[in-house]
Amino acid sequence: MGLSPRTGSLESLREHNLLRVIDVLLAQGTASRAEIARQTGLSRTTVSSLVTELIARGLVTEREPSDERDAAGAGRPPVLLALDRSAGAAIGIDVGHSHLRVAVADLSHAILAQAERALDVDQSAGDGFAAAVELVDEVLAAAGIPRDRVVNVGMGVPGPIRHVTGSVGSSSILPGWVDVRVGEEMERRLGLPVVVENDANLGALGEARFGAGRGVQEIVYLKVSTGIGAGIVIGGRIHHGAGGTAGEIGHLLANEDGHVCRCGNRGCLETVAAAPSLLEQLSRTHGTDLDIEDVIGLARGGDPGCRRVIADAGQHIGRAVAMLCNLLNPARIIVGGDLSAAGDLLLDPLRGALRRYAIPTAAEDAVVTTGLLGEQAEVRGAIALAIGEADRPLVQATGGLAAGGS
């Protein structure tokens, strides 16, 4: 006997609400029943009933709070819910100017295995792709995840991405990647779906979901490393701009009489504040064998030259950030990348320049802090992107929710 229209309508509504619960867990990784109720607008009684059904189907599991953030608050911390590990997995690929990092996670965003390699990928996209495929195979084997359980791959590259074509939008920032359709090529090599994003945008996404920007809607994430980029979050969403180049803060003018930048302009912020510039400034007095970790260590130990170049970099970055604050009025400026390890040696001068060059209210609204995720920000963001962009991965993996219950 078929369902009556009314009964069928009620069952359809319940399936829709089950998917709403799943979507919250896909986005956040873990959430309490109360959080799910707040985000979906469903009553706590309804959420409790839906969660009970999802647990019975083997799609959702309960977890105890895993850290102080999850357990914060008075009284007994709430039990957290997460998608069951059997629901599938996602891969994050973080391509930097000098490194490659790959991780595989379950759909609760918990990383199961990770691998990395020092690699200069700027001149050859092919080398980057080949190394990424090797590391993907490595982490899948380490985690014991069959390839057919991977629902999506998120990939970050250190340059602007033309979202219409999926290709790198600058011939000078990544010269070996010009006109390469990154997602298509990676999909061909992996045999898996791939979505591509700028690395600073992924850092912003990672910190917004799981780090220093959690719960904040207006964020600027600065990745200060070999280059300088900004991931901009407006209204809780990454802002790409018309063609995908929003956030290229490293190419704002810092000194019109300065050195020629790799982008072809003169005196860009990267020429005075990125890691290679700091090393070049110190080469006469400290030699050419330093890396940026050495510079930070020496600065912490009181070396005046190293402290000076870091402070100068902070001032230059702060002036550029002041322009962003006047235009965008973010609530939080999160500094990541290699140079963020300098902490207040970098941030105090940055804050000083921000107060000097931004309008007072914009400077007061912006809390400047280092990221909480460190070098993990971009790969965590890549995993979040993969899960968020997958086409209802749980439904695909289980053959549809309707098949899971009776």
Residue 236, sorted as left (phi over 0), alpha (psi -120 to 50) or beta, turns out to be: left
pLDDT at 178: 76
Is pLDDT of 396 > 70?
no
- The residue-averaged pLDDT of 18-37 equals 90
Per-residue pLDDT band at 221 (split at 50, 70, 90): very high
pLDDT at 402: 43
pLDDT at 335: 98
Is pLDDT of 369 > 50?
yes
Number of CB atoms found within 10 A of residue 117's CB: 13
Is pLDDT of 70 > 90?
no
CATH of domain 212-371: 3.30.420.40
Domain made up of 5-83: CATH architecture = Orthogonal Bundle (1.10)
CATH of domain 88-202+379-395: 3.30.420.40
For the segment 39-62, what is each residue's pLDDT rounded down to a tens digit? 999 999 999 999 999 999 888 999
pLDDT at 325: 96
**Which of 9-13, 92-96, 244-248, 277-281 is least confident?**
9-13
Q: How far is CA 177 from CA 40, 195, 209, 382, in A?
A: 42, 16, 29, 19
pLDDT at 399: 44
Separation between Cα atoms, residue 78 and residue 76, nearest integer Å: 6
pLDDT at 187: 94
Mean pLDDT over all residues of the chain?
A: 88
For the segment 165-209, what is each residue's pLDDT rounded down to a tens digit? 777 766 556 777 777 888 899 999 999 999 999 999 999 999 999
pLDDT at 392: 55
Per-residue pLDDT band at 1 (split at 50, 70, 90): very low
- The residue-averaged pLDDT of 341-357 equals 97
**What's the burial of 2, exposed, middle or buried (CB within 10 Å: 0-12/13-18/19+)?**
exposed
Q: What is the dihedral of CA 261, 264, 265, 271, to 10 degrees?
A: 0
Is pLDDT of 352 > 80?
yes
Is pLDDT of 63 > 60?
yes
**Which of 4-8, 359-363, 384-388 is least confident?**
4-8
Closest CA to 306 of 326, 281, 269, 331: 281
Is pLDDT of 385 > 80?
yes
- The residue-averaged pLDDT of 79-101 equals 90
Domain boundaries of the chain, sorted by first residue = 5-83, 88-202+379-395, 212-371
386 or 166: which carries more pLDDT confidence?
386
**What's the burial of 36, exposed, middle or buried (CB within 10 Å: 0-12/13-18/19+)?**
buried
Is pLDDT of 338 > 80?
yes
Is pLDDT of 9 > 90?
no
Query: Buried (b) or exposed (e) across 344-360, using 16+ Cβ within 10 A?
Result: ebbbebbbebbeebbee
pLDDT at 177: 79
For the segment 291-304, what is each residue's pLDDT rounded down to a tens digit? 999 999 999 999 99
Cβ(404)–Cβ(398) below 8 Å: yes
Closest CA to 386 of 257, 265, 209, 178: 209
What is the percent of the chain where pLDDT is above 90?
A: 66
Domains 88-202+379-395 and 212-371 belong to one CATH topology = yes
Sign of CA dihedral 363, 365, 369, 375: negative
Residue 123: how many CA atoms within 13 Å on its side-chain side?
A: 2
State the residue for tokens 């302009």. 265
Is pLDDT of 6 > 50?
no
Strands 99-106 and 31-32: unpaired
Separation between Cα atoms, residue 162 and residue 160, nearest integer Å: 7
For the segment 109-160, what is each residue's pLDDT rounded down to a tens digit? 999 999 999 888 776 788 889 999 999 999 999 999 999 999 999 999 888 8
Separation between Cα atoms, residue 4 and residue 405, nearest integer Å: 19
For the segment 270-290, what is each residue's pLDDT rounded down to a tens digit? 999 999 999 999 999 999 999
